[in-house]
Amino acid sequence: METSEMLKSFGLSDKAVELGEKYEKELEKRFEEIDKTAEYNQLKVIKAMQENRLSDIHFAATTGYGYNDIGRETLEKVYASIFHTEDALVRPQITCGTHALTIALAANLRPGDELLSPVGKPYDTLEGVIGIKEQKGSLKEFGISYSQVDLLPDGGFDLNGIKKAINEKTKMVTIQRSKGYQTRPTLSVERIGELISFIRSVKPEVIIMVDNCYGEFVEKIEPSDVGADLCVGSLIKNPGGGLVASGGYIVGKEEYIENCAFRLTAPGLGKEVGATLGINQSMFQGLFLAPTVVASALKGAIFAAKIFEDLGYPCIPNGTEPRYDIIQAVTLGSAEKLIAFCGGIQAASPVDSFVVPEGWAMPGYNSDVIMAAGNFIQGSSIELSADGPITEPYAVYFQGGLTWYHAKLGILTALDRVLKTEK
């Protein structure tokens, strides 16, 4: 059977399959560039594993306190090598990206300090963490204040505003690399580097943290290569390569990582404790696969942008601009189309393909959110997934794909469902 026939056996229309063939051809050159970055990052990961003498013994399980877990210690060294940082905290006990970011902030800020975001509003779930939105246990409740400088209308940094916002209380700066659920552009590592240099010229001793979620391995360099003191992310996104069942990472300066470890476990215990219960092997193997998995996700994102843009749906980023994260926003313009798109992604999944996604009031979010994912790992958004708040402008945020072929099937199925609503 031809592959096109096989695609049609999933119920895809001739039109969807034809559009798929057309755009896949058009994107050959872009895909080649993505593969080149993936190769570079693959080598970076292998080198880090070799330099830290990764061995079979590191895959053994520890229990209880988890003292002397050499697998865990080696994993953290490998992360530090990849990100070129002094130290790393990579743990299954970090429950998600929000938790990792919370640890990094709460560990390094003290009452009376101020946190600054020079790139506008942070990710939704951080509003409660910081206290932008009233929330028990927020940083605000502990006497930590927050200030924010929005990006300029053209997406540039408001350098004057940032300079004015930095004061004697400013202890930490948080920079979000990815757009998250916003329609602003994602920041390239180079631009993050420029922003960091500027901030350092105003206040050299400030601690600069980058929320690196969805950005890992998209470029050849990471924010820690351009001066970030801390980089933070989730292991059920890019660096877990789709294999890690749970966890988060924080890499950066030794002093700040120690603070994070004291906050995650307990002051004085820090990195010494934390049983890994046998998951080290998946942490290493997922990291090993991550560069190629990220490449698959990037191909899917660009493919989706190309197709939907040509059909008249605004896409951020658009089909031709460079990529700095794996998220693709497509503005679908109606709840019906948003739900149809998500239904298509779900129907093309290897797991739970028979489930119909619906919107729900997800904790931490301001409106109903619809999420589609037929995942091996619950909530993993490095796996093919689509989500979006069911509110104006009805944009779907689409990401992931452990393999390009699955991403392609998912996008074509979503496309077909959206096309049907147009009739």
Ligand X SMILES: *Cc1c(COP(=O)(O)O)cnc(C)c1O
Q: Is 145 in the site for ligand X (CB under 6 A)?
A: no
Output the smallest distance, CB 157 to ligand X, in A.
Answer: 18
Instruction: Tell me whether residue 240 or residue 374 sits nearer to ligand X (CB atom).
Output: 240
Residue nearest to ligand X (CB): 97
**Scanning residues 164 to 183, which ones bind ligand X (CB under 6 A)?**
176, 178, 180
Do residues 119 and 151 lie in contact, with contact meaning Cβ atoms separated by under 8 Å? Answer: yes
Instruction: Tell me whether residue 7 or residue 175 sits nearer to ligand X (CB atom).
Output: 175
> Per-residue contact track with ligand X, 208 to 227, x per CB under 6 A?
---x-xx-------------
Output the smallest distance, CB 178 to ligand X, in A.
Answer: 4
Output the smallest distance, CB 221 to ligand X, in A.
Answer: 18
The Cα–Cα gap between 290 and 296 comes to: 10
Instruction: Tell me whether residue 369 or residue 412 sits nearer to ligand X (CB atom).
Output: 369
Q: Is 410 in the site for ligand X (CB under 6 A)?
A: no
Do residues 269 and 262 lie in contact, with contact meaning Cβ atoms separated by under 8 Å? Answer: yes
What does the block give as tokens for 149?
């400088």
What does the block give as tokens for 414?
């979503």
Q: Is 123 in the site for ligand X (CB under 6 A)?
A: yes
The Cα–Cα gap between 188 and 202 comes to: 22
Instruction: Tell me whether residue 48 or residue 327 sits nearer to ligand X (CB atom).
Output: 327
- Residue 79, CB-side half-sphere exposure with 13 Å CA sphere: 32
Stretch near ligand X under the rule CB under 6 A, chosen from 19-27, 90-98, 133-141, 314-322:
90-98
Instruction: Tell me whether residue 71 or residue 180 sits nearer to ligand X (CB atom).
Output: 180
- Size of the residue set binding ligand X (CB under 6 A): 12
In the sheet with 369-373, reading across from the earlier edge strand, the strands are: 315-316, 328-331, 395-399, 385-389, 369-373, 359-360
Q: Is 98 in the site for ligand X (CB under 6 A)?
A: yes
The Cα–Cα gap between 30 and 298 comes to: 10
From the list 89, 96, 166, 409, which residue makes contact with ligand X (rule: CB under 6 A)?
96
Burial of 378 (0-12, 13-18, 19+ CB in 10 A): exposed
Instruction: Tell me whether residue 116 or residue 340 sits nearer to ligand X (CB atom).
Output: 116
What DSSP string describes 306-375? HHHHHTT--EES-SSS--SSS-EEEE--SHHHHHHHHHHHHHT-SSSTT----EE--TT-SS-EEEEE--
Which residues, in sequence order, are bridge partners of residue 92?
Answer: none
Q: Which stretches of the chain bind ligand X, using CB under 6 A?
A: 96-98, 123, 125, 176, 178, 180, 211, 213-214, 234
